[in-house]
């Protein structure tokens, strides 16, 4: 099995476990799995940026996290994750313009963001570089994901 296949298989297991916990409404456990899925998806994209499974993993991971935040009422975080994945895919498409799969992923990301904004509105002038406001119950887990020291 290639390194791509191994990493993608690991990502699939992590996202599936996250989805199972999402269905059970285990919010914090789901958050941990979705953040881990994003880390693995970012590794896939970094190593194999033109791989369809890598860009799919990136899109799915961020959109699943956004759906979790949306369900929990953290609409700004949900919106920010949708914006982040759209911008990330657009940057990849700009860099690797010959990859038609990236254009499709960009359209999917744009469509999901548009649907979200239609229902909840936009959260304004926030850019991807700006850190969104994180609800206090997520501070420890999000800090771990961002590589920041835990706040006590």
Taking the complete model, does pTM exceed 0.85, yes or no?
Answer: no
pLDDT on residue 124: 67
pLDDT on residue 148: 39
pLDDT on residue 127: 45
In the 8-state DSSP scheme, what is residue 137? G
pLDDT on residue 99: 65
Cβ neighbors of 84 (< 8 A, separation 6 or more) are 62, 128
- As a dihedral over the C-alpha atoms of residue 91, residue 55, residue 139, residue 132, rounded to 10 degrees, the angle is 30
In the 8-state DSSP scheme, what is residue 140? H
pLDDT on residue 102: 84
- Which of 132, 23, 133, 107 lies closest to 68, judged by CA? 23
Average pLDDT of each block of 10 consecutive residues along the chain (152 residues)?
94 98 97 98 94 94 97 95 94 79 87 92 59 43 40 30
Cβ neighbors of 17 (< 8 A, separation 6 or more) are 33
Q: Which fold has domain 3-146?
A: 1.25.40
pLDDT on residue 31: 97
pLDDT on residue 104: 86
- Domain range summary for the chain, segments of one domain joined by +: 3-146
């Amino acid at each position: 099995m290639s390194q791509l296949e191994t990493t993608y298989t690991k990502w699939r297991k992590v996202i599936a476990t996250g989805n199972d916990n999402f269905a059970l409404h285990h919010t914090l456990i789901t958050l941990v799995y979705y953040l881990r899925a994003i880390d693995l998806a970012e590794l896939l994209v970094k190593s194999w940026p033109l791989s369809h499974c890598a860009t799919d993993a990136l899109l799915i991971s961020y959109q699943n996290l956004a759906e979790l935040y949306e369900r929990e009422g953290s609409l700004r975080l949900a919106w920010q994750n949708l914006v982040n994945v759209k911008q990330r895919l657009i940057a990849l498409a700009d860099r690797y313009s010959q990859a038609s799969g990236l254009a499709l992923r960009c359209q999917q990301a744009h469509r999901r963001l548009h649907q979200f904004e239609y229902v909840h509105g936009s959260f304004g002038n926030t850019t991807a570089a700006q850190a969104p406001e994180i609800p206090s119950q997520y501070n420890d887990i999000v800090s771990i994901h961002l590589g920041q020291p835990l706040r006590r």
